[in-house]
Structures are given as structure tokens and as C-alpha cells.
Chain A
């Protein structure tokens, strides 16, 4: 029995193999996501970290077919969904949902809370009669911690935290297994961030949800993720469990990210940190070689010229850097 449960926990729910997404621009191909692979086990959270424009949102949208992948595979529950058509996606979206970054932009301003939360229930015709519909909406509102008196309110009348709760409620309405959280707390202020994060973690515990948690905020990702993938310009540069990554960051970019997190200390100045300089190099038709080389304090000659594959440096810790060859 126990062994069976353990097996369940180890089951891989989402697997991505060498996923690529290029956008056509007037200057050439923009490599938004360039060869990313990972696995997410059922009931776990994968955090995806990276600075703005590194392709992390595109990655999340690719998983849900909001963009068509250029190359690679998305495997959900042992089924390759990369080439699914609209109708097949319609079915699978019951199980795969998304929470958006900005709740005020992702909620239709002309719909009341009832209509917003009830939309998936209506679209999938998952109710028997009007009373059943009302009850389901009330149930979801209760789960996400929204008071029943807001049922006739409009999203702009509520504060950011409640709005995001509506967004979460919509994602939960069809009882999904997997949720893409695209910076769900970035638009919220800190006190509400904690509420929403706790809600997400409680839901994960209760329903065994699997998350991919996209964010630029390392403190948030540390709090919620089991594993973390660090992205830089469409590529995954480091991939490890949360503990391992924070204890032993290997890639210079990850180190730079961690250094940039302000640490409150009573001992006065502690400015040994190197702050990364420069900007992202252009993602349009990037040259082969490490994409971080231009900003990397440890860049060497061998970093340029050819792509650096991601390697397992220690068990479960993957890094794409020539320092560990």
C-alpha cells in the first residue's frame, strides 16, 4: 500500500523534451524558447526563474497550446499532446489550467464574479440545473476563500488579492491536475502575495495539484517550489532541487541572481556581491555559444563558438556551463 503511494508520487505528470518556440520577426527568428527539457512529478512544483524577456511566460503558454511549439515534445500523462488539435485541447484543458499574472487584465471587466468563476462550468456544461450551477460557484468561492457576498461584484470593485482569488477559482473550476502559474503574485503587494502563495500551497496539499510556477522573484520560488529551473534567453542554464540550488548555485548566472536578492542584515554593509552588468543580448538569431558569456564574469574563450549542452554535474543537479566540464 505504502509502496503504491510512493509510486504514485513519483509518477511524472508533465514532461517536456527539447521544446522550441521561434517567433518570426522582421529582423529574423526570435528564439523565445530554445531547447528546454524537464519533468514534473505529480503533486510537485517546478519553479521557473529568469529575468524579463527570457521566455518563461512563452514556455508556460506553450504547455497550454496558447502558442504552437516550433519543435520538441510536450508529454502530458504519458500522452504526446504537442500536435493536439483544437478539439483535443478543449478536452485536455479540463485538466490543464493557468493562473495569469495580472488579475485585472485577465478578468473580463464586464462580468460579475459569478459569471467569471462559472464560465468554465458553463462552457464544459458541467452542471445539471441552475441551482447546481450556483452551488458549484459557491463551492469554488469557498475553496479559494472568497466571501459569498462578492458573488455579484465586478472584478474592479475588489482588491488585488481577491481578484487573484477569482483567477485561481476559475482555474480550479474544472478540477484540474496541472496548473501553469504565470507570475501569479508579481502584480500583488507583499502582504497579499503571502496569502495567495499559502492558498496555492494549501490547494496543492489538498488536491494533489501539480504546478509550474513561473516567476522572477527568487524568494517566492524558494517558498513554493520543489525543483527550480533557471532560464536565460530561452535556455535552461541550471536545474536542481530547491535546496540544492540555493545551497550550491553553480552557474554564474544563478549566482548573480542569488546575489541580487537583498538580504537584511544587522551587521551593516555586506557588499561583496557582484551585481550583473549589461543587458540581455538579443534573442533574435543568437550566435552559437553560451548566451550569458557577454555578461559573465568568468567567461573564457571556450564559452564562445559552440553551444554548451546541459550536463548532470552532481546527481539531480544540471548545469550548462564550461566551468564544470
Chain B
């Protein structure tokens, strides 16, 4: 009897941490999480981590190649590239994550309302989204940037707003499929009101494609910030940001490519890591896909069985 009780408790514990367990089953995901954590911590504690002051110009030592003193060399103002990358992480991480979360949450909400309400509400919301979509993202954020002005918060807002339509469209499409499913009808029969039904059945079944979209947009948000900064709408020049550094550095591509490539690699790694984590997160949140994550484990079990 006691043993049975014990087993039951154990079972329950597993189910609670199921998502985390499945998420961490892939070694690549763990690696990505560690990389992201290291980068995040480094940029938060930049003053303690960075070897040099990222803003101190040293015109004698400008455009130095890679060396032990300056791992990624120095830029055209003689500033240490590594230090600037570490500080730049603050801007890039913030812009990427905040703008994507903003776009994702607002876009999903609009899509959900449009899909559920239908009729005029749907038409109005979606036509506005279509109009926003017809303007290229960079011009859209330029336009919004010129309204909101410079500054990190405004950049996030501008980039975020320009990405809203894609989320609204994806979500609306999903809602239209999911709302016709039998389990939504079953929810109504179980006494769920329209709003409760939307929250508990329709929304969770629409999230997965949005998560993928979010991880994809993260990279373009970081690059967009660079483009905005390049056009003079973004972060003010002395402040370091990865996108801005790529822009500053590409002029020296032939003579000193490290200046542009080093921050570029950081952008790439961060985007890649977010993609991997996002992909795994989507699978872990979907009970049907959970099985595919623990593949390594399964093989082991099959081997043992044989």
C-alpha cells in the first residue's frame, strides 16, 4: 500500500516537470540555453566583464588586427571590439526580445479577436493589418521611429509594431481552423462561455506557429535595429549595438574584416540559439510532439529491450 502511494507521488512529480524535462532532453538545446545565459549575464554585468572601456577612443591603436591584447582587434576609433560587443549585447538583446514579445502578444490578441468575432470587426482589423503589411518593414519602422523619436524604448516599439501584422495573420488563420474543431464545441457543452473557451481551448492550440515566428523574427529585429541606427533613427552613435557595429565595420571589410564579422557572428549565434530553443519549446508545449524530443532516450530503451 505504502509502496503504491510512493509510486503515485513519483508519477505526479514527473508530470509537473514534463515540459522542462522534454525541453532539456536534447543536448543541443541545453548548449543553446547555456550560450544564451552566458551572453545575457555578460551583457548585464558588462562593466565587470569587458576588458576595456567601450567608449574610450585610442586613435593611435585604431584598426588593429586580432591580438592577445584586443581579441577582436580595434575599430576605426581605436575602441576595443570585444568590449563593444559585450556592451552592445545589452541593446541587441533588449531590442530583439522586447520587440518580438510586443509584436507577438499584440498580434496574437488582434488575430484572436478578428478570428473569433468575425464580420465587421474581423474585416476592420485585418484590412488595417494588410495595409501595414504592404509597407516594407524597414520603412514602417523608419516611419514609426520618426514619430516616436530616438531611444531604446522607442526603437523596440517601432520594430515591434511593424512586426504585428504577421502574428495577427498567422493567429487568425489558426483560430479559424481551431474554432471549428469538435473539442471547442465540446467545451461549449461543458459549460464554457465563449471567452473561457477561447482562452482555454483555442488560444493554446494557436500558439505553436507563433512561437516559431517569434524565434524567426528575433534575428530580423536585431538586424532591423542596426538598419535603423545606420539611417540615424536608432541608438545614438557612441552607444554600442551589434547591428550598429556591423554597419560601422563593413567599410573596412577588405582591410580589417574582423570588426564587422565578429559582431555578425554574435548575432548569428544568438539567432540560432533562440531558434533552437524556440523550436524545442514548441515541441515541448505540444503533447503530441513531445515524444519526438526524447529520441536519444527512446533508442536506448529499444536497444535495452532488444
Query: Which of B12, B185, B191, B288 lies in contact with A94, CB distance below 8 A?
Result: B191
Smallest CB–CB gap between A55 and chain B, Å? 17
Pick the residue among B181, B182, B190, B287 that contacts A119 (CB under 8 A). Answer: B190
Interface residues in B, total, Cβ within 8 A: 24
Contact with A along B182-207 (1 / 0, CB 8 A): 11011111111100100011001100
Q: Would you list which residues of chain A between 80 and 119 have a CB under 8 Å from chain B? A: 86, 90, 93-94, 97-98, 100-102, 105-110, 112, 119
* Residues A144-176 near B (CB distance < 8 A): 149, 152, 154, 156-157, 167, 170-171, 173-174
**Chain A min CB distance to B240 (Å):** 42
**A108 touching B11, Cβ below 8 Å:** no
Does B15 lie at the interface of the complex (its beta carbon under 8 Å from any beta carbon of A)?
yes
Main secondary structure on B side of the interface with A: helix
> CB of A124 within 8 A of chain B?
yes
B57 to chain A, nearest CB (A): 55
Say yes or no: A123 contacts B192, CB within 8 Å. Answer: yes
Chain B residues near A112: list those with CB within 8 A. Answer: 15
**Which residues of B217-269 are within 8 A (CB) of A?**
none
State whether B189 touches A154 (Cβ < 8 A): no
How long is the Cα–Cα vector from A1 to B182 in the complex, in angstroms? 44
Please name all residues of chain B whose beta carbon is closer than 8 Å to the beta carbon of A66 when the two chains form the complex: 185, 188-189
Return the contact of B186 from the options A94, A124, A170 (Cβ within 8 A).
A170
A124: B residues at CB distance < 8 A = 191
Partner of B189, one of A97, A101, A107: A97
> Chain B interface (Cβ within 8 Å of chain A)?
11-12, 15, 181-183, 185-193, 196, 200-201, 204-205, 285-288
Would you mind naming 22 contact pairs between A and B with Cβ atoms under 8 Å apart?
Answer: A64-B189, A66-B188, A66-B189, A90-B191, A97-B189, A98-B186, A105-B182, A106-B182, A107-B186, A108-B204, A109-B183, A109-B205, A112-B15, A120-B190, A123-B190, A123-B191, A123-B192, A152-B12, A157-B287, A170-B186, A171-B189, A174-B191
**Chain A residues in contact with chain B, CB under 8 A?**
64, 66, 86, 90, 93-94, 97-98, 100-102, 105-110, 112, 119-120, 123-124, 149, 152, 154, 156-157, 167, 170-171, 173-174
7 shortest interchain CB distances as A-B pairs: A123-B191, A106-B182, A154-B287, A152-B15, A120-B190, A105-B182, A108-B183
